[in-house]
A and B are shown apart, each in its own frame.
Chain A
Amino acid sequence: MEVLQRFADHYNYVVTIFLMVAGLYIVIARGNLIKKLVGLSLFQTSVYLLYIEPGKIIGGTAPIIDPAFKVYSNPLPHVLILTAIVVGVATLALGLALVVRIHEAYGTIEEDEIFSREGEE
């Protein structure tokens, strides 16, 4: 019973870690470059959760100061993750531009085919 309670208390972290390792698995196991980039953004979004979850207080409210409220969630992770989201989309765009160039040069975006074509030359 105690183990179950612990699991319920940490369910957020468990799901976050699942998203993280799913992203990691896609990046390592899949050969398609676009799929890899989607996996990379899964990994990034799981990091957003990992930062913001500890800052939440049950019964608290968003950190916008108003006399009607007493308890606010922690604003600091929000600030850091705002920066991370925008940087994340910038890296995604750069990665996709590279994918377009690779597709031009090799005619494919599958890693296996790119490697075999490299071997032929």
Chain B
Amino acid sequence: MEALINIVLLTLLAVITVGIMFQRNLFAVVVLAGIYSFLMASVLIVLDAVDVAMTEASVGAGVSTVVLLGTLHLVRTIEYPSKRSALIPMLVAVATGAALVWGTIGLSPFGTADNAIHKHVAPKYLADSVKETLVPNVVTSTLADYRGYDTLGETTVIFTAGIGVLLLLKGRRRRGHIADEDSKVGRTA
């Protein structure tokens, strides 16, 4: 049953992706991207990644969509057809896809417990984390305790990106005011 729900949701994801590829109205693209993120969150729930699903629904479907819509407010919302040929990108994409499919043939089937990923450190976390950290959610204890430095690095990245966005958009407001004043001066003169 899990596998069946998964297959249906993944097929829907692929269909939405095709829609994003061919849609030229950027507003529709952003809405489709929001749908894509919610579908992705559903897939993640089926894959037992509930924490990731919550983050994807709030950050991927929420924040990303808001940021994209905010940008669309400032720029044009229609995409013009590109003059370049689509042949070379298509070839690159198909070649990459073929190589990746060839690479995944050797992976063990989806959902089996004897997958190599389940035999390394994961059993240790599952067995010991409650004893060591008293947190029943293993994802939380791993994120905050065992791999706290990863999270510190992540916060650094977000901080840097936030500063970058602020610097880029701060100059914009100032220039906008100057442009407004110039146009006012022009009118009175």
Contact = CB atoms under 8 A, between A and B. Distances in A.
Interface of A: 6, 9-15, 17-26, 28-32, 34-35, 37-39, 41-42, 45, 48-49, 52-66, 71-83, 85-94, 96-101, 103-104, 108-112
19 contacts: A12-B10, A13-B101, A19-B13, A23-B17, A28-B93, A29-B89, A35-B79, A42-B20, A54-B115, A56-B110, A56-B111, A65-B129, A72-B138, A78-B51, A89-B60, A94-B164, A100-B172, A103-B74, A110-B80
B185 interface: no
A64 B89 contact: no
B125 A92 contact: no
* Interface SS of chain B: helix
A47 B21 CA distance: 18
Interface of A is mostly: helix
A99 B71 contact: yes
A61 B70 CA distance: 38
Given A21-B96, A58-B3, A104-B172, A94 B56 contact: no
A29 B86 contact: yes
A111 to B, nearest CB: 8
B189 to A, nearest CB: 25
Contact of A38 (B68, B117, B143, B158): B68
Interface in B25-55: 26, 29-30, 33, 36-37, 40, 43-44, 47-52, 55
